[in-house]
Amino acid sequence: MTITDLLSRLDGVRSRAHGKWSARCPAHPDKSPSLSIREVDGKVLLHCFGGCTPEEIVGALGLDLKDLFTDSPTPHGQRPIAKLQKLDLVDVAFRFEMAALDRRLRAEWTLKAVENFNGDNLSDEDRDRLMKVVARAYADRDQAEFLETVADDFRLKAFHERTNRHAA
Ligand SMILES: [Zn+2]
């Protein structure tokens, strides 16, 4: 995925500075452009000032976090592909692990908080809300598991890369 591909999927894209854009966030009803997009060293960084996570944003675009690694030069032609090939796999794995940990902690806090909660006196509306929060916690846990698998993948790749290099 190139940065141009990504930008073409977004609404209200405006170029801010070299390698920086703003757009309407696809993950929440966004009137002002709350999404900021940056391209740094073959990686696209997304930040929504409305509080959406990068996963939610790429999810809303039908993409995956892995798609945020751009595989060709930017429109400015600044980043050679070779740079991406030398991506520090251990660093990438670490980032995925941190994202997983983030989800896992959020899920655990939520589930712990509702564990001893007596919902008897809740209105239907509040009960619905509570169910949504719990569902979200389980979804977080699933996502964490997925991110951990991705992290493991990268670590394995990094390991093989190193062994191959030593063997050669
Ligand atoms: Zn958003």
Provide DSSP, 32-62. Answer: S--EEEEEETTEEEEEETT---HHHHHHHTT
Say if residue 13's pLDDT is above 90.
yes
pLDDT at position 36 over 90: yes
Report pLDDT for 114: 84
The whole-number pLDDT of residue 18 equals 85
Domain ranges of the chain: 3-85, 89-167
Q: 4 C-alpha to center of ligand 1: Å?
A: 20
Averaged pLDDT score across all residues of the chain: 83
pLDDT digits (tens, 9 = 90+) for 88-140: 788 888 888 888 988 899 898 888 888 877 777 888 888 888 888 899 999 99
Secondary structure (3-state) at 11: strand
Contact 42, 88 (CB under 8 A): no
Tell me the CA–centroid distance for residue 132 and ligand 1, in Å: 19
| Most confidently predicted of 76-85, 114-123, 143-152, 158-167 | 143-152
Structure confidence at residue 43 (pLDDT): 83
Gap from CA of 77 to ligand 1 centroid (Å): 29
157: its two tokens: 């790749």
User: Of 11-25, 65-79, 93-107, which range is least confident?
Assistant: 65-79
Tokens of residue 162, six digits: 């190193």
Burial 124-159 (b: 16+ CB within 10 A, else e): eeeeeeeeeebeebeebbebbebbbebbeebbeebe
CA separation for the pair 54, 8 (Å, rounded): 17
Q: How far is the CA of 121 from the centre of ligand 1 (A)?
A: 33
Q: How many residues does the chain have?
A: 168
Å from CA of 66 to ligand 1 middle:
19
What's the gap in Å between 61 CA and the centre of ligand 1? 12
CATH topology of domain 3-85: DNA Primase; Chain A (3.90.580)
Asked which of 74-78, 137-141, 163-167 is least confident by mean pLDDT, the reply is 74-78
Percentage of the chain lying above the pLDDT 90 cut: 32
State the distance from the centre of ligand 1 to the C-alpha of 53, rounded, in angstroms: 8
Residue 81: pLDDT over 50: no
22 touches 37 (CB < 8 A): yes
Q: Which helix (H) or strand (E) holds 82?
A: helix 81-85
